[in-house]
Homo-oligomer: A and B are copies of this chain.
Amino acid sequence: MLQGIYAPIPTPFGADGEIDWNSFKENLQWWGKSSLQGLAVAGTNGEAVLLDADEKAKAFSFVRDNLPAKMKVIAGTGCESARATIRLNRTAAESGCQAALVINPSFFKGSLDDDSLYNYFMHLAESSPLPIILYNMPRNTALNMSASLVVRLSAHPNIAGIKDSSGNIVQIGEIINKSAEGFAVFAGSANFLLPSLVLGAAGGTLALANIMPEECVQIQKLHEAGCLDDAKYLQMKLMEINSAVTALWGVAGLKAAMDLLGLYGGPPRLPLLPLDDKNKESLQKIMHGLQLI
């Protein structure tokens, strides 16, 4: 039901550092006209850890209210504590979102073994009014969710899938192979979308889908149609811009790319810094080379 390509959208801030709701609305109108299956709000690219709980709550309903009904909204609700995450799961449900994206807590990594994380996510699954999508992002959390943990959790009817941003294709294969029927695995980056689809992934939640939604959707369509050569060609093409926009420059790169496209990117919040002029120029060249601008 959830399968397809999602964009994990950035949160637009004005010069005063506050959320710029007008720009946000314009961005949403643009994405609303795309072929995307939906959007993910307050994920890594949404600078979730730099937002207050109130801001997240408002963003959930704002995005839901400004998107066509057929598009799904996945709310990023994961915090370090079960307590705060549970509250946001409820808020997200009340806002009409379709699923909650829950990153694993990671600060106390020395204590968070597989059993602790299993207990944590089962506790959330029991209490959440929305289906939960696990979110594995070891590059940021420095704590990988193992295939065996994810497989165990997949048995719970309220745990619907995982966004795996590890890029570990063997782990992704093992999860797909052994998880419960209907459990949806989403590639967490355009960099490994096609290999994941080939192994049976249900789609992707891709930073690149913010700025190149149609090309990302096209890879999945080509794969489904059995046009593997075309899919591979497109995969290779997207890898270059994706590495620059997301892997190398992170949120600042994505926001700068949105500005260059005529959408609103704006500055990230401190401690993040906007892309400097030299890197902006490099980005411009890459996007120009791909005829995006």
Which residues of A are in contact with B by a Cβ distance under 8 Å? 17, 44, 49-52, 80-84, 105, 107-112, 116-117, 119-120, 123, 139-142, 167-170, 173-174, 176-177, 189, 191-192, 194-195, 198-200, 226, 228, 232, 235-236, 239-240, 243, 247, 249-252, 269-273
Contact = CB atoms under 8 A, between A and B. Distances in A.
A254 to B, nearest CB: 11
Given A108-B251, A271-B108, A192 B177 contact: no
Counting from the closest, the 8 A-B pairs by CB-CB distance are: A142-B142, A82-B270, A195-B195, A120-B271, A169-B169, A49-B80, A50-B81, A170-B191
Contact of A273 (B107, B109, B116, B167): B116
A198 B228 contact: yes
B110 A250 contact: yes
B50 A80 contact: yes
Contact of A81 (B44, B81, B139, B271): B271
B173 A170 contact: no
A117 B270 CA distance: 10
B116 A232 contact: no
Contacts of A111: 249-252, 272-273
A107 B49 contact: yes
A110 B139 contact: yes
Contact of A200 (B108, B189, B232): B232
12 contacts: A49-B107, A49-B108, A80-B271, A81-B269, A82-B269, A107-B140, A119-B273, A120-B271, A167-B168, A167-B169, A173-B192, A226-B226
A83 B50 CA distance: 8
Which of A50, A51, A235, A249 gathers most chain B CB within 10 Å?
A50
Contacts of A82: 269-271
Given A81-B50, A108-B250, A170 B198 contact: no
A270 B120 contact: yes
Contact of A272 (B116, B194, B240, B249): B116
Contacts of A116: 271-273
Which of A84, A107, A228 gathers most chain B CB within 10 Å?
A107
A4 to B, nearest CB: 20
